[in-house]
Amino acid sequence: MKVMISICGEDEQIPFLPEIKKLNAEVELGSYGLVGVQSKQAWIHRISVHRTVRSSFSGQIVLHGPFVGIEYAHFDHLIRRAVEKRIDMIFDAAVHLNAFRVVLHSGFTAEVDMFARQDI
């Protein structure tokens, strides 16, 4: 069984990467849900933070893609186009970070736990 440990990639988490590697675990990088989608600068910052993780971790990395408020098969063609762009962005990030996999959730609505989480 393969273990996957979810982190956001913040500075205080970097020292734990060697231990995660010793466990032969994967790292799942998040924060593309709420934090990374708030602005173009926020997205760029997420990629920058995750580049640091990639350079410090030689194991498998998984990206947790955006999901809050994302309806992948929305009826409205304009909304579908925006969702397609966001999905293209996460896959570009995956290629750039040499990610092993991208995790996406379908059917997630913001009402489910929007107010229970500060940082996804």
CATH number of the domain encompassing residue 91:
3.20.20.150
Two structure tokens written together for 75: 């009826």
Cβ atoms within 10 Å, residue 43:
20
What's the pLDDT tens digit per position in 69-93? 778 888 899 988 988 988 898 999 9
What's the pLDDT tens digit per position in 107-119? 666 555 555 555 5
Report if residue 120 sits inside a domain: no
Full domain range(s) for residue 83: 4-112
Report if residue 118 sits inside a domain: no
What's the pLDDT tens digit per position in 1-10? 688 999 988 8
Q: Residue 4 in 3-state DSSP?
A: strand
Q: How many domains does the chain have?
A: 1
Instruction: Report residue 62's pLDDT band, with 50, 70 and 90 as the boundaries.
Output: very high
